[in-house]
Amino acid sequence: MYASRTCIGGGMRIAIEEFIGFPRYNAFGKKVQQVMVLMTDGLANETEPPGTDPVDSIHYYADLAKQNDIIIHGITLGRGADKPPIQYCAEQTGGEYHHVEDGDFEGLFDVYRGIGRGNDQPRLVR
């Protein structure tokens, strides 16, 4: 649908719809924490919904995630990544923000290990 384009807001919308439409519960019937990892190596250059500014749509969906208690951890990769909108997502929702330089695969693995641990406590993810 967005050939050669980056629609960050569209990806966020799909994830948020999944979280809202299909909440998860633990064995005791308590709703579990909903966490999204948003990773991009580029600039948002496609809007969601169409007709808006791409960064405005990222802010809109970050605010919607916050309203629905969804935490967004943001990761930008390399020189071409637009950091501020992804930082905004993490800040608004209580997530973490990380930037990884081009080719730093160990750094990227460290970021994912850190997010998976969460305050040095292991987390189960389904």
CATH T-level fold of 8-117: Rossmann fold (3.40.50)
**Rounded average pLDDT over 42-59:** 85
pLDDT value for 20: 95
Cα(93)–Cα(66) distance, rounded to whole angstroms?
5
pLDDT given at position 2:
47
Does 123 have pLDDT greater than 70?
Answer: no
Q: Which distant-in-sequence residues (6+ apart) come within 8 Å of 110 by Cβ?
A: none
Sort residue 115 into left (φ over 0), alpha (ψ -120 to 50) or beta. Answer: alpha
pLDDT at 40 (0 to 100): 92
- What average pLDDT is seen over the chain? 88
CA–CA distance, 95 with 68 (Å, rounded to integer): 14
Domain ranges of the chain: 8-117
Position 65 scores a pLDDT of 97
Q: What are the structure tokens assigned to 44, written together?
A: 């948002």
